[in-house]
Amino acid sequence: MVAQWSLVPPGSPSPVRPASVVTQARWFPDQNRQGRSLRSPHTPPGCLETLQRSLCRGGVLAQVAVTICATHRSSTRHLYHATWQSFCCWCHGRGKDPPHPSVRTVLAYLQHLKGRGVKHNTILTHISALSNCTDWIKGVPVGKHLLVAHWVISNRSLKTPTHTLVPKWDISVVLVALTEHPYEPLRHATLKDLTLKTIFLIAAASTRRVSELHALCKVPPFLIQRPGSFTLTTNPAFLPKTATEQWRRCSLDIELSAFHPNPKNDLERGLRLLCPVRA
């Protein structure tokens, strides 16, 4: 149980607090990163903690609420927590109640973000966090409210279109560079250069997301090496950003075969230098 303002007023003598009322350690938005401090009575609970309380108030069992909140990846939980703390600080400065905002409060906050130059996609993240942490407005989540939806559409249309006339990078130039110094010959390459080359070739050959590449393991049984090929598997605890039914049915194994183990001409010898199995 997290200590509430009414239970633990500031300045009350309490040399030893029972375990049931010890506050949880939280990061403050503007706190120095050198250390952590306990959450003060003025600091609101975290995003998912607020969601759990909301579900329990709606009659959902506590264990069910915990299971629902566990569907979010750890990176999503950290992102929602940061955006929720930002919304709470904004509300407290204006005397608003963060868990029970009106649609006017939400729209004012979104306009505040726009005025600060926050990107449209980042504002969508704030809306998603608010939809998970605040009470529904007229029977719908914040992000589904008609006025909020209209605001999002209008804000997107007001974005200044940008057209990239020249690609920011050319993969053919990168591949040629990987066949030259300092990446070749391999026996002369540093560990850093060899690692960069291997990671890039695996990413290009597998076309997997960055999160999936981060979840790869280099130890058995997640790495299976065979003559001329190898198989990489993501950690079983890995949860993708979008866990769809199609993702659950698909294999997360990455199987790569060697390029031209016995090259016979210049073209095959050049492709051999770009083989992730060789690297």
Domains of the chain: 24-157 (1.10.150.130), 171-272 (no CATH)
More confident: 260 or 251:
260
Least confident of 5-14, 24-33, 107-116, 243-252: 24-33
Q: Round the average pLDDT of the chain to a whole number and report it.
A: 77
Query: Taking a C-beta distance cutoff of 8 angstroms, is the pair 161, 119 a contact?
Result: no
- H/E element, 26: strand 25-26
Contact 148, 103 (CB under 8 A): yes
| Residue 14 in this model has a pLDDT that exceeds 60 | no
Rounded Cα–Cα distance for residues 187 and 105 (Å): 62
pLDDT for position 114: 92
SS3 229: strand
Q: Are 231 and 217 in contact (CB under 8 A)?
A: no
pLDDT digits (tens, 9 = 90+) for 177-202: 999 999 998 889 999 999 999 999 99
Question: Which spans in 93-177 are helix H?
Answer: 103-115, 120-133, 146-157, 171-177
CA-closest candidate to residue 215, choices 189, 184, 245, 247? 247
How many other β-carbons are positioned within 10 Å of the β-carbon of residue 145?
A: 20
Confidence of residue 276 (pLDDT cuts 50, 70, 90): confident
Q: Does the pLDDT value for residue 7 go beyond 70?
A: no
Cα 52 to Cα 46, 133, 144, 196, 246: the distances in Å are 10, 9, 20, 42, 29
Q: What is 173-185 written as a DSSP string?
A: HHHHHTTSTTTSS
Mean pLDDT of 7-15: 41
- Given a cut of 80, is residue 170 above it in pLDDT? yes
Quote the tokens at residue 111. 């306009």
Residue 2 and residue 24 in contact, taking contact as beta carbons nearer than 8 Å? yes
Label residue 245 by pLDDT band (50, 70, 90).
low
Q: Tell me what pLDDT residue 29 has.
A: 39
> Distance (Å, rounded) from C-alpha 273 to C-alpha 279?
8
Higher local confidence (pLDDT), 78 or 143: 143
What is the amino acid identity at position 89?
A: C
240: Cβ contacts below 8 Å, ≥ 6 apart: 73, 209, 211, 212, 247
Alpha helices per DSSP H over 159-235: 171-177, 191-206, 210-214
* pLDDT for the residue 182: 93
